[in-house]
Structures are given as structure tokens and as C-alpha cells.
Chains A and B, each alone.
Chain A
């Protein structure tokens, strides 16, 4: 009965370094989403997975951002050559399937700070 988990909970990195953020969705959930929440801003959609494929990656802000999902389960969001504006909370959510009737369950987020 575990919920969505994310790791690390906090990450401090130097500008220019690469970071990997991990999301473990609820078992059996086929849809997985990544969002970014900057201070004082609403959640910003980044990318959506259905199984291992990403039909919608339109929210990725630049080519420094990439994500993958393996085994229809764990997903990693990678940010290359981090910039200070990448500092935010990165939230992962999963749902049983894609569509308005399926509730998205959110993880606790990873707080990324780029110094």
C-alpha cells in the first residue's frame, strides 16, 4: 500500500553539474507525470509517461532536461548542466491510467537547489 516515493528528498548541487531525480510510482499505475513547482508558482507540467513511452514531453523547458521510465515503473528525471533557475521542487505523480477520471497521486517531491 505504499504511495509514490521520490529520492532524494533534497539535493544541493553546483551550477553546471548533472543531477538525477528518481520516482517510484504506485505499483500498477501505468501513467506517470513529472511536474516542477517553483517558489510562488503553480505546478508546471514537464513530461508524461504511459508505460515506458513518453507521448507528451512538451513541458520540458530545454534539451538539458530528459526523463526515462523503465519496466513500466521507476522513472528518472535528469537535468544536465544545471542552472540556478532550475532550483525548484520536482514532483512526480502516478495514476492508474491517463484521463480525467483517474486521480493523480503525488510523491513528496525532491527539492533541488542549484548554487
Chain B
């Protein structure tokens, strides 16, 4: 079982609509959580970073939430645009003896239709 689970696996929405992507993780000890956007054929680009003490963080039309107690995070996209079509990846940094490591979810493939 993957230690960072994302849902849904894929999502199709109409332009202008809102959507919420989910991320549940089991890895610990938690250091921070990032959401990345990966366009087709490109490398992932960081959207937000959240530490243990943060509940909400916004970046334009993207708003991430974190509940460190239940180990859940969400990424809410408002007023979607065609350019939002991409894979959204949840990444958790786990503290460890070698300064930690990143654990990646498999991503949610978002398609925005006109």
C-alpha cells in the first residue's frame, strides 16, 4: 500500500468550476507537505508547502489545507481554467536519519473541458 494516497485518480470538470483533490498519508514523522503540478511532458512544479502547524495556505486560485492529526490534506482549485489540466501530486517530507526523504503520491489527473 502506497504511503501517500491520492484521490480521485482522475477527474474531469468544466472550465470555471471548482474542484477538490485529496491526499492521505501514513508516513511519519511528518516535516512538511507540498502539492506539485505536473504538466504533460514537464517536471513537477511546487504550488504550496505546508508545515505541521499550518492549516491553510493559498496560492492564487489554489488553496491547500492540512490536518496533521488525521494526516489528510486537500487542494482546492477555484474557477478552473483550461491550463489547470495537469497531474497534481502530493508530496510528504519525512524526517529521518539522513535528513529525511520525500514520499510521493501517484497524483490526480485533472482535465478541464471548455
Contacts and interface: CB of A to CB of B under 8 A. Distances in A.
A67 interface: no
A101 B18 CA distance: 30
B43 A106 contact: yes
Nearest to A59: B101
A91 B43 contact: yes
Contact of A106 (B41, B45, B98): B45
Interface string B79-101: 00000000001000101001111
A42 B107 contact: yes
Interface in B40-63: 41-46, 49
A105 B93 CA distance: 15
B58 to A, nearest CB: 17
A100 B32 contact: yes
Most chain B CB within 10 A, of A43, A91, A105, A108, is at: A43
A55 to B, nearest CB: 6
A93 interface: yes
Interface of B: 2, 4, 31-32, 34, 41-46, 49, 89, 93, 95, 98-102, 104-107
15 contacts: A35-B104, A42-B2, A42-B89, A91-B44, A99-B99, A100-B31, A100-B32, A100-B95, A101-B32, A103-B49, A104-B46, A105-B43, A106-B44, A108-B42, A109-B42
